[in-house]
Amino acid sequence: MAGAIAPEARAAQRRIVSTINASGKLNADRLALRREANCGEWKATAADISKDLDLLQVPHTIVTAFRFPLASSYSKAMREGEEIRILRKDLPHLFPWMPSLEQTVANIPENAPHWDFTVLQPRADGMVIAAMRLSVEWPAWSKKQARAARLVCAESDYDLRDKDKDRAPFDVRLPEQPKRRRLVCGKCCNNDVDEMQRLAALAGAPS
């Protein structure tokens, strides 16, 4: 960033630093800046932030990410939003514009949460791993919020974020609601063996 800085870049720097200070979320993988859907009337959109990052030459992506539904909301569907995500390896592109961020990144604990909440999904021919598209804030949600986001076992109410190796999250859907995600811990679903056998029988394949 040698030499004079163009006024447009300086303005973009002020906006980005302000946004990161107000709503940036760091984890072991990267930095995220969230925007709710259709927020343009009130604040900069994900596209607006992306333009500033492009101007500052900071690599990033925009992804869809979901938050738990509000208790006051008539709809109990997860809230869709967008997150601007900057990979940890790309964060040094931000350091010249926000020097204080360098030490903050260096201080991230080794055991800090990672990006995705992963679940195991049964198939007739075996098990697959799927990542849920959640906001980067998911590890810090209260249990009530996690329950609203259906991140607790549907049978025992065990908080699946605790990552007990014997209680891994399995997506075991009810036959009458095959499109609705339903997470159950391994202890409550026999590690999904029964569900895989059921799906294999339906598909006419050997279990």
* Closest by CA position to 16, among listed 89, 97, 85: 97
Q: Which residues contact 148 (CB under 8 A, 6 or more apart)?
A: 68, 69, 71, 76
Closest by CA to 34, choosing from 65, 60, 55, is 65
Name the 3-class secondary structure at 134. strand
Secondary structure letter of residue 29 according to DSSP: S
CA 143 to chain centre: 16
Position 205 pLDDT exceeds 60:
no
Q: What is the pLDDT of residue 148?
A: 93
Q: Is 59 strand, coil or helix?
A: coil
Model confidence pLDDT, tens digit, residues 171-204:
998 888 888 889 999 999 888 887 778 777 777 7
pTM of this prediction exceeds 0.85: no
Q: What is the pLDDT of residues 130-160, one digit of tens each?
A: 989 999 999 999 999 999 999 999 999 999 9
41 pLDDT above the threshold of 70: no
Q: Which residues of 179-201 are buried (b: 16+ CB within 10 A; e: fewer)?
A: eeebbbbbebbebbeebbebbbe
